[in-house]
Amino acid sequence: MNERVKDAEGKDTDFTVGQHLEQAAKRSPTEAAKLDGPPFPEELRYLHDWLLQLHGRSGLGFGGIAPLSHQEVEAWSRLQGVTPEPHEVEALMVLDGVMRNPEAGED
């Protein structure tokens, strides 16, 4: 929700999507509902914590934050003394992609 709202000509405005939704929510209950999400599954809290530790650690590229790499996950797991399962690594990669490009996750 840190992305900028586009104007009618497709140019970025000074407002983030989150700010836009908060203002719209003050005017309309329908828009307010967009701010609410499903309850967070506590069983996945550890995965969320791992993601926050890893996101953005692969550096920057021309398109912004570089995708999370397997090498970065491996180094992190060695340093943290954590051994993620293959499906957890895959989940981290997918979630990192969503964090880098939230609008792609809407499909």
Contact in structure between 81 and 40 (CB atoms under 8 Å): no
- Give the pLDDT means over successive 10-residue stretches in the chain (107 positions): 60 71 72 70 93 84 84 95 96 91 63
What pLDDT sits at residue 87? 97
What pLDDT sits at residue 83? 96
The Cα 44–Cα 31 span in angstroms is 28
93: left (phi over 0), alpha (psi -120 to 50) or beta: alpha
DSSP state of 50: H
The Cα 32–Cα 5 span in angstroms is 17
pTM, two decimals, is 0.61
